[in-house]
Structure 1
Amino acid sequence: MWTTFWRIIFPLLAPINATVGILTCLWAWNDFLLPLVVLSSPSAQTLPLVQYVFQGQFSTNYTLAFASYLMALAPMVLVYLFAQRWVISGVMRGSVK
């Protein structure tokens, strides 16, 4: 039964697994509230918490903020480019009858 699952069903689920992987990576990478509550040491802060420093009540340092946003965006773009093959194949399989 497990051999049937791993050889027949699991390859058909590759687009779904890629989509879930992309969404899980995005959720973990962009998590803000849990690290804000849990972490107290400035050296252990995650990237979204460090980016929060650039926004003040009365001023925002836009040049540093947008540079850090681009640097934070790069790993997620690489994850998407890696998993894009499976997502597009799933869309194409669903459109052909």
Structure 2
Amino acid sequence: MPLLGPMNATVGILAFLASWNDFMLPSLITADPGLQTLPVVQNIFQSKFGTNYNVVFASYLMAMAPTVVVYLFSQRWVISGVTQGAVKQ
């Protein structure tokens, strides 16, 4: 059972990232800009003829912040799983 902690943390991080970065389903389901997810709203900043890179990169940084916080909280279990597999007993 103690070996399941790092695996659960890794699966949790990957599941969080998959749902956080989902683009296709929210763009098809929600038409109201107030209800759309962050990756879908970021698409507004890029047009066919130009891109305002200052706003685009600021929105990317804000979208990346929650994933970094989730990783920082679960980093302890991920690192412990890596070190448990590397140490020979």
Amino acid at match of 1:48: P
Residue matched to 2:22: 31
Q: How does 1:1-97 map to 2 (within 5 A)?
A: 9=1, 11-97=2-88
Segments of 5+ residues of structure 1 without an aligned counterpart are: 1-8
Q: Equivalents in 2 of 1:71, 1:40: separation in Å?
A: 22
- List structure 1 runs of 4+ shifted beyond 6 angstroms: none
RMSD: 0.7
The 3-state SS of whatever aligns with 1:59 is: coil
**Structure 1 position 96, deviation (Å):** 0.8
TM-score, length basis structure 1: 0.88
**Structure 1 position 70, deviation (Å):** 0.4
TM-score, length basis structure 2: 0.95
Percent sequence identity is: 64
Determine which structure has the larger helix proportion and give its number: 1
Segments of 5+ residues of structure 2 without an aligned counterpart are: none
Structure of larger gyration radius:
1
**Structure 1 position 12, deviation (Å):** 1.5
The one-character-per-residue Cα deviations of 1:30-51 (angstroms, maximum 9, x if unpaired) are 1000001111111111101110
The 3-state SS of whatever aligns with 2:49 is: coil
